[in-house]
Amino acid sequence: MDEIVQSYIFDVVVILLLLLINGILAMTELAIVSSNRIKMENLSKKSLGAKLALELIDNPGSFLSTIQIGITIIGIISGAFSGQRFAEPMGIWLNQFSWVFGYGNLVAFTFIVILVTYISIVLGELIPKRIAMTKPEKVASFFARPIHLLSKIMYPFVFVLDVSTKVILKLCNQKEKKESTVTEEEIHSVMQQGLEEGTIDDFEHKVFQKVLQFGDREASVMMTPRIKVIYLDIADSLEENAEKILQNPHRYYPVFDGGLDNFLGIIDTKDALAQMIQR
């Protein structure tokens, strides 16, 4: 009897170990995909794990294929193992009862599948991914080495899957595109989040917004046609120049001598008025 109990304990440990490996793969996958590249580049200067994580980020096809192979193999093994070690004995035991006789194996198989699926989702997917979302860069750096080694070991299988994926995408007229690491929408979102959390104040937020808006404007929009330029001409009288300042109030004015072809410089309005008063 003790041997039977020990055998079942061993079986449970094996399944939990498989789920742990599955969880590590799922956690590493999400951590690497969610990692901030700038933070990872900074970490890579001090950490070999972060450097390897960057390599995985730059080669997503190989990395994702490795993870998928590992998760699929573990899923098949854990399903077959739990079915053989638990469903069959449970089915035999259930068939002893008249109300379930003849359906014991089906009931046992269904129960084990539901139970293992539930445990797999919670322990092998949800919890590891929640952990990965908290500190993706650290998680990715920590597990990058074993994943990198695993990708080397599985290279033949990964190569076949990667090539197959590319061929199918090509047949479907789908081209792989490298999008910008950071989009303008993401910058706006981060700034808004920083404003709401108090990381940046309202003035800084407005400055960032204006800088981004400025980049979207064409130079021609901000330029003034030659014939509409308001300027001071030293060849004109003080009254004429003073009238220009009064009718077109600006902080600075370009100064010319006898027309727009002879530019002399820029003068502050206060300095211009002060000189006019002195004269």
pLDDT in tens, 92-111: 788 888 777 777 778 888 88
Instruction: Give the CA-trace dihedral at 105, 111, 112, 113, to 10 degrees.
Output: 100
Using pLDDT thresholds of 50, 70 and 90, give the confidence band for residue 54: confident
- Of 61 and 110, the one with more pLDDT: 110
d(CA 21, CA 168): 30
Residue 4 pLDDT > 80, yes or no?
no
Residue 252, beta-bridge partner list: 268
The owner of tokens 């990692």 is 35
Positive or negative torsion for Cα 175, 181, 185, 190? positive
HSE-CB at 76 with a 13 A cutoff on CA atoms is 5
d(CA 266, CA 253): 6
Long-range contacts of 147-152 (CB under 8 A, 24+ apart): 147/25, 147/28, 147/56, 147/63, 147/66, 147/67, 148/52, 148/55, 148/56, 150/66, 150/70, 151/56, 151/62, 151/63, 151/66
Q: Which domains does the chain have, with CATH numbers?
A: 2-171 (no CATH), 184-219 (no CATH), 224-278 (3.10.580.10)
pTM over 0.85: no
Residue 61 pLDDT > 80, yes or no?
no
DSSP letters along 154-165, please?
Answer: THHHHHHHHHHH
Query: What pLDDT does residue 35 have?
Result: 86
Using pLDDT thresholds of 50, 70 and 90, give the confidence band for residue 179: low
Question: 243, 235 in Cβ contact below 8 A?
Answer: no
Question: 44, 135 in Cβ contact below 8 A?
Answer: no
Question: 52, 40 in Cβ contact below 8 A?
Answer: no
Q: What angle do CA 34, 139, 120 make, to 5 degrees?
A: 85
